[in-house]
């Protein structure tokens, strides 16, 4: 009988897991998702420099893990040039690498970084030194991007590891909650121990897999690079890597708890479960989106409360469904069932409230939920959760009127829905909550009266932008112009001309910054004074998406 119950448990969990993993696998196949966004760079994208830059600096909108950062520089022939090792810049959101002296030409920068919440992002841009060699910068970038992305299988494996982590912590902690709430005289059979040990194996194994896959993903590798121990030290030096190691250590500390779980004399283990469980939950909240949301301690606490209550709820359902028939038929287990019912009455509103708060904060409101993959996964998760709550209400009615004996089929259905929720949750953490700001680098060569002004505006989006201006006087003279100013306006919104804060970076080379608060077709006007008493006006439309 015990063997058949164990087989039934494995079959049902595997069946539900397959359903959840279909979504997780498809998510992994979509490729990397942007979490940290590149706000500015030195040199700026598409800029034209008079001389070799001393360094390449990348400034992101959130902290990044510099030990896993990669910056590569290619010349216009696609040759990789040596750079200094990436290091922290002015703060934890800036990474920079020194550049050897380089000659005139077009260059491509390919970067790959891991954000503080453990997600890998990459990108590329070009810049020019002196007179270019007639190279198409877009073609150059495309030619050097080969090998800059991790194999799709790595992304899918990461999705599976996240799902296994969630399933493991649910089975282990939720199952232990039910065991702790049981009558002291209750004897827990083999199926109960199988649920707990399966949870332990999933939690420990997935933590190690996630750690190794993070190294492969950060290095744009394949599954063959999972056991490349040379990068493990760098992974361990990141916040996500440290939390994953902590999770593995906590899993080891749970081993004696599971070994002594059936021993009632001197039962010390129930005292350790809340502490170990809380620390385990923190390893999830500390490595996700809340950890990079201001203020991080507040949102990590809200996320830990949300996850902790959900773990107890779903894990208790799994134990009642797959931990043996005694949970719903033996009088010694009635105490656990009643405790679960009371906990769910308080816990479900907490899950809903904390979930709504996180959605509002992470997504910046509720208006764009259908516009992002994160939002669509969240809505799907919410729909299944509503079904779970409805089934839970029916279960509590049956418990009050017919006792636990009639709950089995309903509890199994709830547990299977819970596995689907975990699959959707694993998909959520792999996606950016908010819409990434659209950008379109603007470059143009404006001419008037024999004067040429090469202008670039990066990143070309709503918010702060860098303006680079290189002027060639009439006749190709290298004589410096007297002055150059720039301004931008947005006629569609009746926004008058806003001056661009410009400063000279070299002979006839100016750089500046401007904040563009709205999307639309802005009008750029450049006023150049090539010689005293003479001015030239150049203008162009600048589309900001």
H or E element in which residue 224 lies: none
Residue given tokens 């332990």 in the structure block? 200
What pLDDT, on a 0 to 100 scale, did the predictor assign at position 31?
Answer: 39
The hierarchical CATH code for the domain 38-144 is 2.60.40.1220
Extents of the domains making up the chain: 2-30+151-428, 38-144, 442-544
Closest CA to 241 of 268, 214, 222: 214
Q: Tell me whether domains 2-30+151-428 and 38-144 share a fold.
A: no
Best CA proximity match to 28, nearest among 173, 172, 163: 163
Pick the CATH number of 2-30+151-428 from 1.20.1630, 1.20.58, 1.10.238, 1.20.120: 1.20.1630
Q: Which CATH superfamily is domain 442-544 in?
A: Macroglobulin (MG2) domain (2.60.40.1930)
> H or E element: which one contains 164?
helix 152-169
Residuewise pLDDT in 10s, the chain (545 residues): 444 444 444 444 444 444 444 444 434 433 334 456 777 788 877 777 778 888 888 888 778 888 888 888 888 888 888 888 888 887 878 888 999 888 888 888 888 887 776 777 777 778 888 765 566 776 777 777 766 667 788 888 888 999 999 999 999 999 898 888 776 656 677 888 899 999 999 999 999 999 988 888 877 777 887 888 878 888 888 888 889 999 999 999 999 888 887 665 456 677 888 899 999 999 998 877 787 778 888 988 999 999 999 999 888 888 888 887 777 777 777 777 778 778 888 888 888 898 888 888 877 777 777 777 777 878 888 888 888 788 877 777 777 776 666 677 788 888 888 888 888 888 777 776 765 556 778 888 888 878 888 888 887 887 778 888 888 887 666 678 888 889 999 888 888 888 887 888 777 888 888 888 788 899 999 998 888 878 888 899 998 88
E runs forming strands in 374-460: 442-448, 451-458
pTM score of the predicted model: 0.71
- Is the distance from CB of 417 to CB of 410 less than 8 angstroms? no
CA distance 115 to 263: 45
- The residue assigned the tokens 């505006």 is 457
CA dist., res. 351 & res. 313, Å (int): 10
* Closest among 436, 419, 434 to 24, alpha carbons compared: 419
């Amino acid at each position: 009988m015990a063997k058949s119950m164990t087989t039934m448990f494995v079959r049902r969990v595997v069946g539900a897991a397959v359903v959840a993993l279909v979504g997780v696998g498809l998510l992994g196949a979509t490729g990397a998702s942007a979490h940290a966004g590149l706000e500015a760079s030195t040199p700026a994208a598409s800029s034209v420099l008079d001389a070799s830059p001393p360094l390449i600096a990348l400034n992101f909108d959130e902290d990044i893990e510099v030990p896993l950062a990669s910056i590569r520089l290619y010349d216009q022939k696609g040759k990789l040039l040596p750079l200094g090792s990436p290091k922290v810049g002015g703060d934890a959101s800036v990474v920079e690498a020194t550049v050897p002296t380089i000659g005139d030409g077009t260059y491509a920068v390919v970067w790959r970084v891991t954000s503080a919440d453990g997600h890998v992002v990459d990108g590329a841009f070009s810049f020019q030194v002196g007179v270019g060699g007639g190279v198409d910068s877009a073609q150059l970038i495309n030619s050097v991007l080969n090998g800059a992305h991790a194999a799709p299988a790595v992304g899918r494996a990461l999705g599976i590891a996240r799902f296994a982590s969630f399933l493991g912590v649910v089975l282990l902690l939720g199952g232990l909650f039910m065991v702790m709430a049981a009558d002291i005289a209750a004897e827990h059979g083999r199926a109960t121990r199988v649920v707990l040990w399966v949870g332990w194996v999933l939690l420990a194994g997935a933590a190690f897999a996630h750690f190794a896959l993070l190294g492969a993903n950060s290095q744009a590798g394949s599954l063959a690079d999972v056991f490349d121990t040379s990068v493990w030290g760098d992974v361990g030096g990141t916040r996500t890597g440290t939390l994953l190691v902590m999770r593995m250590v906590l899993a080891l500390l749970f081993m004696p708890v599971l070994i002594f779980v059936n021993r009632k004399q001197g039962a010390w283990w129930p005292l350790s479960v809340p502490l170990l469980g809380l620390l385990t939950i923190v390893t999830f909240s500390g490595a996700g989106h809340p950890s990079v949301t201001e203020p991080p301690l507040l949102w990590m606490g809200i996320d830990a409360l949300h996850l902790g209550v959900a773990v107890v709820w779903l894990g208790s359902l799994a134990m009642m469904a797959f931990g043996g028939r005694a949970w719903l038929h033996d009088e010694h287990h009635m105490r656990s069932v009643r405790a679960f019912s009371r906990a769910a009455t308080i816990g479900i509103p907490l899950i809903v409230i904390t979930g709504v708060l996180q959605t509002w904060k992470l997504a910046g409101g509720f208006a764009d939920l259908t516009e992002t993959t994160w939002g669509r996964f969240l809505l799907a998760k919410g729909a299944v959760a509503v079904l779970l709550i409805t089934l839970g209400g029916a279960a509590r009615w049956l418990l009050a009127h017919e006792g636990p004996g009639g709950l089995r089929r309903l509890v199994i259905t709830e547990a299977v829905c819970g596995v689907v929720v975990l699959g959707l949750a694993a998909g959520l953490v792999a996606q950016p909550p908010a819409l990434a700001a659209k950008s379109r680098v603007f470059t143009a060569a404006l001419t008037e009266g024999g004067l040429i002004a090469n202008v670039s505006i990066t990143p070309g989006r709503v918010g702060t932008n860098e303006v680079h201006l290189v002027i060639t006087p009439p006749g190709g003279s290298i004589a410096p112009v007297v002055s150059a100013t720039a301004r931008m306006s947005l006629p569609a919104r009746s926004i008058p001309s806003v001056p661009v804060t410009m400063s000279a970076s070299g002979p006839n080379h100016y750089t500046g910054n401007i904040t563009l608060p709205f999307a639309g077709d802005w009008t750029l006007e450049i006023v150049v004074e090539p010689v005293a008493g003479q001015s030239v006006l150049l203008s162009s439309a600048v589309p900001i998406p």
